[in-house]
Copies of this chain bind each other. A is one copy, B any other.
Amino acid sequence: MLNIQTPTLLLDKQKMLQNIELIVNKANVHNVILRPHVKTHQSHKIANYFRKFGIDKITVSSLDQAIYFSKDDWKDITVAFPVNILEIDKINFLASKIKLNLIIESQYVATFLEQKLEALVSIYIKIDVGYNRTGLKIDETNKINKIVEIIRYSKKLKFEGFLSHSGHSYNAKSIEEISNVHKESLTVQKRIKEIYAKGFPNLINSIGDTPTCSLMNDFRNIDEIRPGTFLFYDLVQWKIGACTLYQIAIAMACPVVAKHASRNEIIIYGGSAHFSKDFSILPSNEKYFGYVVELKETNWEIPEQMDYVKSLSQEHGIVKVKQERFQKIREGDILTILPIHSCLTGNIMKKYLTMEGEIIHRL
């Protein structure tokens, strides 16, 4: 049995490998490049599992992640975040070593790079396909043209293609909504590529979010997908319908520290300082912060009836459990809980414990 004394992020490697295989196969079937987003795990060891499936391109969300992975010999990295010009030294360091792909969305930044770059980088123009966070809208032709013109005459910028992220798929309430998000993204990406195809025949259309990459089966005119969360999945993805509970590959193991019989509530050592503060909504409209599973020797099982984390303060979690379970639990037991958002939980916990007892560190 695993030696757990404090809140611990468990990783079921078998589930993770199955999740990877599923998306790898899907990318192959649809003939798109799979460039997984590694921000979800941020670990050399886990990235190496992708290599076994033939993956040699990754996506990161910061230059620090790019540097970390370049040290483990990843040679083709897309930083899927608008260029932060304050980090020009890191950009030049990376550009001299690997194929570095950056995303830009303004003339100002394009000009800055053209002036300051010391080696070639590949550029995606960031397109906003409906998420309304950042990126250029397809009808901002004047702005897009100006960037394209800077790239066209630059010796340091290579025009790689168009990149988008349909983050609004995370808020989808049905598969129809996800399908609509995806269709809009396909339409926009197809059109923008056609506009510039004449001058640049080999542009890449890159999209990436776990719900659409998990659930959709139409990737026409798409060259590359960049999902990340699919590796672990989580309760947000489950609620969307992008995975089953059985596919969720990480769980928090938390010591029981107190019991309250009058309200069938268990206090665990595990709070927002471990899980993060993300929540999801139960059918009863209550917030919840995690789903209790049964820890076994080599995996965890999903109970038929759901017990859940009702609230989190910084180190305390309050778990609402059914009467039968309540009576069986005592202080010093471990409650194992599927997290709401695996990226943020991993970001805080900083390491994983596999069901085989191996500790996997991350950036």
Q: Is A149 an interface residue (CB 8 A)?
A: no
Which residues of chain B have C-beta atoms less than 8 A from A314's C-beta? Answer: 39, 61, 343-344, 347
A interface: dominant SS:
mixed
Expressed in whole angstroms, the minimum distance between the Cβ of A265 and any Cβ of chain B is 9
Give the CA-CA distance A87 to B332 in the complex, in Å: 9
The copy count of this chain in the complex is 2
Q: Is A260 an interface residue (CB 8 A)?
A: yes
Q: Are A81 and B343 in contact (CB under 8 A)?
A: no
Q: How large is the interface on A (under 10, 10 to 19, 20 to 34, 35 or more residues)?
A: 35 or more
Expressed in whole angstroms, the minimum distance between the Cβ of A319 and any Cβ of chain B is 12
Q: Is A152 an interface residue (CB 8 A)?
A: no
Among the listed stretches A15-23, A103-111, A184-192, which one makes contact with chain B, having 4 or more residues with CB under 8 Å of it?
A103-111
Q: Is A1 an interface residue (CB 8 A)?
A: no
Q: Mark A329-356, 1 if CB is under 8 A from B, else 0.
A: 0111000000000011001100000000
Closest chain B residue to A260 by CB distance? B134
Expressed in whole angstroms, the minimum distance between the Cβ of A235 and any Cβ of chain B is 15
Interface residues of A in 127-164 (CB under 8 A from B): 133-134
**Given A84-B269, A105-B258, A133-B313, 9 other A-B residues pairs in contact with their CB atoms under 8 A:** A5-B86, A5-B90, A82-B258, A84-B257, A134-B260, A273-B343, A273-B344, A314-B343, A314-B344
